[in-house]
Amino acid sequence: MSTAILIFAFIAVVHFVYESIVAPSWRMKLRNELFVLRDEVREEKIRGVSKADDEAFWFVHNGVNSFLSKLPSLTAWNQHLALEVLRADPELRAVVNKRIATIDQCTNDVVKSVFRRTVKVVEEAMVVNAGGWFVYLIPVALLMATLGRLKRFASALVVAPEREAARLLPQQA
């Protein structure tokens, strides 16, 4: 019993350290990356973005800007809710797909590159925000892997030749 309490206390401390120190620091690093990306796409606008690529520029610029303050909101639950909204709203889905197509058709490599790197930052933020759960999921994953091996072992015992049963599972006195 005391071992279980110590294990749970250790997990709680690890979770606390991750959520209060590691994750906020990591999100700050990601936020700084977004500032760099925003500056890069703005510099490209100053250098001159073609009229055909102007709409793509604004989609990317505004997207980067909107996530500067939303990184902590990129949780697994919010991702689930957003996906439900996208599934349920064909008009919104059409708008999003049209904007992605506009960026894909953009001829400006900097705008496209900033978009791809922004998507990577957002993906990384989702992982960072879910990271606190990994402390709880790792023991469950280990348990599931052990149970999977246990099932295979039990299957092997059941179908093993009877003459080998004593070698596989010796009798205890």
Using one digit for the tens of pLDDT, what is the confidence trace for 103-153? 999 999 999 999 999 999 999 999 999 888 877 777 777 778 887 787 777
By the 8 A CB rule, do 37 and 64 touch? Answer: yes
State the alpha helices, DSSP H only, in the chain: 2-17, 23-48, 54-67, 76-88, 90-105, 109-159, 162-168
* Stated pTM of the model: 0.76
pLDDT value for 22:
93
Mean pLDDT by 10 residues, the chain (173 residues): 84 89 95 97 94 94 93 90 93 94 95 96 93 79 79 76 73 64
pLDDT value for 172:
65
Distances in Å between the Cα of 44 and the Cα atoms of 32, 35, 54, 156 are: 19, 14, 11, 64
Based on the number of CB atoms within 10 Å of its own CB, is 159 exposed (0-12), middle (13-18) or buried (19 or more)?
exposed
